Structure 1
Amino acid sequence: MTLFDYLNINEEELKEAVMTSNLDNVLKSAVVLILNEYMEKERDEYLETAKYERVAERRDYRNGYYERELMITVGRVKLKVPRTREGGFSTSVFEKYARVDQAFMLSMLEMVVSGVSTRKVTNVIETLCGETVSKSFVSSLTAQLDPIVNQWASRPLNVTTYRYLHVDAMYIKVRENRKVVSKAVYIATAISTDNRREVVGLKIDQAESFEAWQSFLQSLKRRGLQSPDLVISDAHEGLKKAISQEFVGTSWQRCTVHFKRNLLKALPKKMAKSFMADVRTIFMSSDLEGAREAKERLVEKYAKEPRVQKALDILEGGYDEATQFLNEPSRYHRYTSSTNHLERLNQEVRRREQVIRIFPNEQSAFRLIGAVLMEADERLQKGSPLR
């Protein structure tokens, strides 16, 4: 079932918009229809009664609508916001559905205000916003959005126990003191003891280093994160050292996907396919004993083949770190062997970030990436627990 099936969209109105408007107006019309109907559903759920339904006991009564504007990527739209007689109902649309759009727009607005955008970008922004862009206009928007993102990014982590922690870093470009510099974005997700995944950490810092990773892990601890059973990441030396110092007694799992890539780079093309097929049998094992036996068979098979000795050395050197996930219950192996899900989350962030290309400042980057992660985290919380 699609969103249009779920919502009671007036197809004639939408068809009229398509026939008589340009593309931006079509998108705006569709957004207005969908969000108006969504808010209507929210009010119905709040009142626990359908329109025109008569019940003896009810929470409140419908009391018409008021108009409110919402700025989205394609421009400003005017919505009919439902209200109730006693005023207890509040829609989630303006906070939830506008968050990423607002963060994206603010990054572009700040580019205009700081004078680093092209004339084309300036014209587009002013057209979408319907007014000349000013510092006060930008400030009024940031004042609404920044506290929401900041509160989410600093929320307490001591209300849930987390069993597994995934960490990774990606790089972005930011303007700083009139220069374009590279910054590392540190992101952490975790799996709780009730089998739910959650985005637990975001921090922007200088290039990856032991000190930067240590600061990030310490920030998680200050918010209440206890030492997890396992931390899963790539093999950055500074990160490994930070994990060992900040989470005493925690095991470290080297991402098997990154490990396999390292092995592949060390192999001649003609032998890569068969060698990697044997490597996969190691990580498909259900326990450490089976993995060790598979590794020994591989080593014995290629012991006299000089062209793969470099790959064998890498395998021997990283084997123990790449098989720590096999100490955990088998139901968690698919979630703890790699950082794949975090890579997908990074791609989601990258999709928005590449449109901006160079952030006008660090707070702008934190706002947009934080909004994207908040959206992803909300989807995770509404989803089913990991099986």
Structure 2
Amino acid sequence: MTKPTFDMEAAIEALRSGQDLTGKDGILTPLIKQLTEAALKAELDQHLAEDGSNNRKNGKTPKRVKTAAGSFELNTPRDRDGTFEPQLVKKHQTHLTDEMERKIIAMFSLGTSYQDIRAHIADMYDIEVSNGTISAITDKLLPELQAWRERDLEALYPIVWLDAIHYKIKENGRYVTKAIYTILALNVEGKKELLGLYLSDNEGAHHWLSILTDLHNRGIKDIIIACVDGLKGFPEAIATIFPKTEVQLCIIHQIRNSMKYIASKNQKAFMADLKCVYKAATLAAAETALDELEAKWGEKYPVVIKSWRSKWALLSAYFRYPDYVRRAIYTTNAVEAVHRQFRKLTKTKGGFASENGLLKLLYAGILKASERWSHPIQNWNLTLSQLSIHFEGRLDEYIDL
């Protein structure tokens, strides 16, 4: 094997002067080139020794190779018979490792634009990559995404939050708004888990029914509490697939919808009175506050009061529980936090050229976000104890209290 001629003293001096180890004009690039060519020569020598024929060396073929340390021209040795198949750098291979692909996917998962990814790769590795190349690399997430969307789920989830977010996707030459349905859950260990992403032309109870059916088919037998927004027909869709599930309508959604109908000059006073309803210590106190709200504002805003009255059974479910349980279920804020993460990823995108383009970006974001979901939520053991009391027998075979 030819000994590498890497000049260590010159490399140390270059490092002291501030030259980069890797990337464009990196100190290590010549060493990687020499070591790679020496290893290829050794592979050819071994091949010829084992061949037993008159086969022999037949010059070299240059090709441009990209590495995480930089790009360089590699001289690949040939044999006369053409039977030599190098293993270190195979024929037509132009990357020594997949590190660069991992970096591209990592930047993509942070919502970095293709333009910025190209600039970063050019700056770090002296390699020009096209949008098509970046798209092809990130498309490798799609089979993984599909497997994730079809994976088996646990039999029981104590708490599930369901909500939708909307995006513009190009279809038949024009952009149309579509809904991404997001299902976030707490498993029996109290850890967050995103159960799935579903895409539809619009948000509606009918499509939620198909999603809930899919969750059931993937293994979910029971959900204790489902926290949802005020979409009409949503509770009925849940009851169809999971008849024992308790539904909690999102208080924050209800408040926002109510304030749309309150005149700006009355909003501060109305909000102060409404707070006495949803912040009450007990169900009885909340109902008394609701009566007082109606007495004061009922004639002026009957539509708002009627909405609270008609939905009260589902809005007030959280009053059954202590404060630490209420905080987890009275709002869909947990899944909305996931949507905020999605918006950070997509804020530079006016629209998406395809459904897959959107889904692979959101999936990359999920992988990043789920890294922080390694611990149970606060007071989970106490919450689980409360649920086991209120829903006697339903958790017994899944937990060990």
TM-score by length of 2: 0.63
Mapping 1:98-137, distance limit 5 Å: 99-102=105-108, 130-131=127-128, 133=130, 137=133
Aligned to 1:246: 241
2:171 to 149, 152, 176: 176
> Structure 2: how far apart are the matches of 1:149 and 1:277?
46
Aligned letter for 1:151? A
> Structure 2: how far apart are the matches of 1:378 and 1:261?
32
Aligned to 2:68: 69
Q: How many residues align?
A: 297
Asked whether the 8 Å contact 1:196–1:385 carries over to 2, the reply is yes
Moved more, 276-285 or 94-103: 94-103
Asked whether the 8 Å contact 1:108–1:125 carries over to 2, the reply is no
CA shift in 2, pair 1:356/1:100, >3 Å: farther
Higher helix proportion (structure 1 or 2): 1
Asked whether the 8 Å contact 1:206–1:212 carries over to 2, the reply is no
> Structure 2: how far apart are the matches of 1:222 and 1:157?
9
Gaps of 5+ in 2: 1-14, 27-65, 72-98, 380-401
Gaps of 5+ in 1: 1-12, 30-66, 71-75, 78-92, 110-119
For the aligned residues, what is the CA RMSD? 3.9
Q: Of the two structures, which has the highest relative contact order with CA contacts closer than 8 Å and spacing of 6 or more?
A: 1
2:147 to 141, 148, 151: 151
CA shift in 2, pair 1:225/1:286, >3 Å: farther
Asked whether the 8 Å contact 2:161–2:334 carries over to 1, the reply is no
> Structure 1: how far apart are the matches of 2:256 and 2:127?
49
Asked whether the 8 Å contact 1:153–1:370 carries over to 2, the reply is no
TM-score by length of 1: 0.65
Mapping 1:1-387, distance limit 5 Å: 69=68, 99-102=105-108, 130-131=127-128, 133=130, 137=133, 140-142=136-138, 144-158=140-154, 161-300=156-295, 302=296, 306-380=299-373, 382-387=374-379
Asked whether the 8 Å contact 2:68–2:100 carries over to 1, the reply is no
> Structure 2: how far apart are the matches of 1:283 and 1:15?
65
Aligned to 1:54: none
> Structure 1: how far apart are the matches of 2:170 and 2:192?
33
Which string of whole-angstrom CA distances, capped at 9 and with x for unpartnered residues, describes residues 179-209 of structure 1?
Answer: 2221111101112233222222211222112
Aligned letter for 2:371? E
CA shift in 2, pair 1:14/1:284, >3 Å: farther
Aligned letter for 1:386? Q
Which string of whole-angstrom CA distances, capped at 9 and with x for unpartnered residues, describes residues 99-148 of structure 1?
Answer: 4524578x966xxxxxxxxxx8998699679335375x357514532233
Aligned letter for 1:385? I
> Structure 2: how far apart are the matches of 1:352 and 1:122?
14
For the pair shown, which has the larger CA radius of gyration, 1 or 2?
Answer: 2
Classify the secondary structure of the residue corresponding to 1:232.
strand
Aligned letter for 1:69? A
Classify the secondary structure of the residue corresponding to 1:307.
coil
Shift of 1:313: 2.2
Shift of 1:361: 0.9
Asked whether the 8 Å contact 2:165–2:339 carries over to 1, the reply is yes
Aligned to 1:9: none
Shift of 1:278: 1.9
Aligned letter for 1:149? L
